[in-house]
Structure 1
Amino acid sequence: MRNMKPAHKLLFVLCPMLVLGFIYYSSGKLHLHVWGQKPLFDKQGFLLNLDTRLPPELVYKYGNLSEGACKPGYAAAKMSAIYPKFSKPASMFLDRNFKRLAKVTNFLPPFGFKTQERIIDVILSGTKNYGLGPDLDSLSCKRCIIVGNGGILSNKSLGSRIDEYDVVIRLNEAPVSGYTRDVGTKTTLRITYPEGAIQKTERYEKDSLFVFSAFKPLDFKWLRQMVFKEKLQGTEGFWKSVAHSVPRQPSEIRILNPYFIQEAAFQFIGLPQNNGLMGKGVSNMLTMKVFLTLHACHPVVGDSQNQNMNLSLPIIGAL
């Protein structure tokens, strides 16, 4: 080192640093191949390499169930295995204790109920019911299916299969009458918002719950008028015409927990929080319903082997 020229000394010091810097940079770009370690999860927290085999704990719990049996807790457990950010099950609807829901307290609609606490209290005092109903609430295992609006079920003749599920969820104005051979006759929940609600009262199915999903503060004012059968007033602020009445008793109306929109947007899709304001990408309700079913529903052994059902239905209980 003593006889080395200054330029040579500088190179002697810089070369190892450059090599180490290159290795460090490459390790991130090449998923740590240099160090022999591969990342398990992507930036959103999803498992990079999905393993179709059941984790040992699920094999032990569900391995001996006969085909066609309902598997309570399976969907959430499987989701947690591929997406550790998936949290514990949340309540499907708001009840009188909704102010205790810390995750949604500080967000404006659609991600929470900030500024709307008083009107929600009034609405819930009128509906008085906050579950699926005694029969469904008593089930330890609920098989659910979401029937989308894209027309993919046309000419599939899956209506009878759809009706076999405990909970059939339909979105907005998805039609039933005239299409029962393909989409079924059963509707347990119809999840919608003011602009998406059916406007012709005769098109509502009997014995279904009207589930309200708010996207803006004005939506709660509309819901209050629907619950208490008030004359619709103040339609400015809606982007299209809205229903003037909902042919449901207050006891048949629910408010969807905004937690599902929040989790779907910020965690599942990975949208920026944007100071809690609604941005692009959350107007499509289907992703949010995926989160809902993962929390509240359970798959059926054997459904994943029915290729016709998997290809034809946007979301089924056997996720």
Structure 2
Amino acid sequence: MITLRARPCAPPPGQLCESPVWDGNELRWVDIRRGHIHRAALDRARLDLVHRATISLAPPVSAVVPCESGALVATLGDEVVRLDEDGEVTTITAIPLPDDGIRRRMNDAKVDPLGRLLAGTMSEDGVEGSAALYRIDGDGALATVRAGVTISNGLGWSPDGATLYYADSPTKRVDAFEYDLTTGTVGAGRPFVQFETGEPDGLTVDAEGWVWVAIWGAGQVHAFDPAGQRRAVIDVGPSQVSSCVFAGPDLDVLVITTAKEGMAADEPDAGRLFMCVPGVVGVPGMRYADAGLVGSDGR
């Protein structure tokens, strides 16, 4: 069993930090309520982050991923947008949210092994079964992958791409689904791990197929092998641990995001990013295959 304590990083705390992604050179993450997309360099020797820049958009901005073209894709409100290198923002697709008075917004998003974006919604008030998980293809085509969820959250694939790990947070469970890489569709599912304390939030998968899960409300990240056996516990500190990703040239640094939104009591370093070196390595992050959205000039 791996047991570690993560250490806080230098960038100042955010309100609701989420969606860390390593693009091969830099770390990016969002502060959802403030509409910020941050980027930072990794100082491996000091095990720290050096903040480089921030993009500000109309909040909420819930996730960010890199594109093959060099642009970024972000989820905000009820839209999926593309941010080109000149800062221009264009809408890829709008999610058809029902007009039923339930407050919904986009939430976590990840790119599958063939470059398609999976992005989910959530109910701001926890209305059961009112959200969904969607797939956005490289040409912007939208399809529903799962309906009837409440808070669509952590997404990650096994190293062979055949299994999708997925968290609908209020179930307190991460499920494992058969995933058809050819079509980008989800097949039969099964419970993978159940949590008694806290709720599963963002997650990532390492090169050995271990699933690393940020546990909102528990102040920890847990790792599970493909059989669902717990193999690691990372103590973070702040209770609201929101997501994690492997970063650095060797993908051996686990970066963890936290939040301070809605906390009843003050917690030192809540809202900061944290790091540790757990002795395993991640897999390279995928880029959204946006060739169907750009012209011959790459814009």
Instruction: State the TM-score, normalizing by the size of structure 2.
Output: 0.26
More strand by share: 2
Q: Which has the larger radius of gyration?
A: 1
For CA contacts below 8 A with separation 6 or more, give which structure has more relative contact order: 1
Instruction: State the TM-score, normalizing by the size of structure 1.
Output: 0.25
